[in-house]
Amino acid sequence: MIEIKKPGLWTTVQDMGRLGKYHLGVPPSGAADKYSFMIGNMLVGNPVEFAALEMTLIGGVMQFKKNTVAALTGAPMKAYLNQQPIPFWEAFTVKEGDVLTIQECRKGVKSYLCVSGGIQVRDVFGSKSTYEASKIGGFQGRKLEKGDCLEINEPLPGAAKQAGKSLPLEYTPSFDSFQELRVTLGLTGYLVSDEGLKAFLNSEWKVSVESNRVAYRYTGGKVSFTEQRPPFGAGESFSNVVDFAYPIGSIMLPNEEELIVLHNDATTGGGFVTIGTVISQDLDLIAQSRPQSTCRFTAVTVDQAMEARKERREKIKKIETILGRQ
């Protein structure tokens, strides 16, 4: 069991997400930065989909009620086990009664605490992930509060051998304040003018403070529309279309001077012009983007997006092999 002494800013239980329910209005949720999440599970010897804690900007204080092996990954926060510094990206032993203090991060946004055996909460629609808007999944469908006690599973066989294993530096994300985000263009992008498309791709976009697990807002450029009259019932603005289902990663244009990129807890549909979709691998980069950080969008083909997915899978397999040899 883990007792929450201080909950941090926004800490929830997440796994790899809730698949196959988006058409019913239930988004996937799940870890916002899946790369960091998967590496955390691999460090403690778990399957990559086991549930863990996702922390936002500030971690909190937690006391362990059983012996286990744990790892911290994601945005680097200052962390201490019984007042002794603990590194990120390395598995460590935790004993009954130990207190883990996780402070703020100076780079990035999302951090993860993974424990051997995973966090034990009940499945909702096939996932342990928290979807707060509908109060489902995770721990009582909400972020953690002071006094909460989370059940953790028994450490997996061989967990003790994981202690001390660490991710090689070359595989550790840098959490830069500027990101290049790859996009497949399409959907209702034909309603964006040629000048608007150039502005979209050539502008530097800034992350708004009004960004969260539902969507990230960006400002900085000006994307003009073709000024085709919206269909009957779609509204009066040139940014309106007939409602349709949004993919996760969709880039919506509610007006000429703002972009909205949908993330894991996204609404399932609506009626804004959508210029394209950020590829799934780069949603991790968005999740780690702090307010006022910047990005540019780069157009890629579907084949290039599929190749990026293949490269990601090969990278994960390589890391798994490296950790298995340590």
pLDDT, tens digit (0-9, with 9 covering 90-100), for 132-172: 999 999 999 999 999 999 999 999 999 999 999 999 999 99
Query: Is 80 exceeded by the pLDDT of residue 243?
Result: no
Give the chain's domain count: 2
What's residue 126's pLDDT?
94
Going from the C-alpha of 151 to that of each of 16, 56, 140, 201, 297, the distances in angstroms are 19, 21, 13, 47, 42
- When mean pLDDT is compared across 99-103, 167-171, 219-223, 236-240, the lowest value belongs to 236-240
Helices and strands (H and E) in the chain: how many = 4, 20
CATH number at residue 252: 2.40.100.10
Q: What are the tens digits of pLDDT across the range 9-22?
A: 999 999 999 999 99
Q: What are the tens digits of pLDDT across the range 105-140?
A: 999 999 999 999 999 999 999 999 999 999 999 999
Query: Is 90 exceeded by the pLDDT of residue 46?
Result: yes
Query: Is 90 exceeded by the pLDDT of residue 234?
Result: no
Question: Which residues on neighbouring strands pair with residue 90, listed in sequence order?
Answer: 166
User: Chain-wide mean pLDDT for the chain?
Assistant: 94
Query: Is 80 exceeded by the pLDDT of residue 229?
Result: no
Cα separation, 214 vs 250, in Å, equals 11
Query: Is 90 exceeded by the pLDDT of residue 268?
Result: no
What's residue 326's pLDDT?
80
Cβ-contact 49, 13 below 8 angstroms = no
Query: Is 80 exceeded by the pLDDT of residue 238?
Result: no
Query: Domain end: 122, 152, 172, which one?
Result: 172
Q: 160 and 44 in one domain?
A: yes
Neighbours of 174 (CB within 10 A): 8
Q: 159 and 26 in one domain?
A: yes
What's residue 240's pLDDT?
65
Q: 85 and 234 in one domain?
A: no
Give the pair of three-digit tokens for residue 322: 């490296």
In a domain, 210, yes or no: yes
In a domain, 274, yes or no: yes
Query: Domain end: 140, 172, 204, which one?
Result: 172
Query: Is 90 exceeded by the pLDDT of residue 88?
Result: yes
Q: How confident is the model at residue 271 (pLDDT cuts 50, 70, 90)?
A: confident
Cβ-contact 218, 242 below 8 angstroms = no
* Whether the model pTM is above 0.75: yes
Print the domain residue range for 245: 178-308
What's residue 190's pLDDT?
86
Q: 81 and 208 in one domain?
A: no
Percent of the chain past pLDDT 70, that is, above it, reads 97
Sign of CA dihedral 181, 194, 190, 274: positive
Q: 151 and 287 in one domain?
A: no
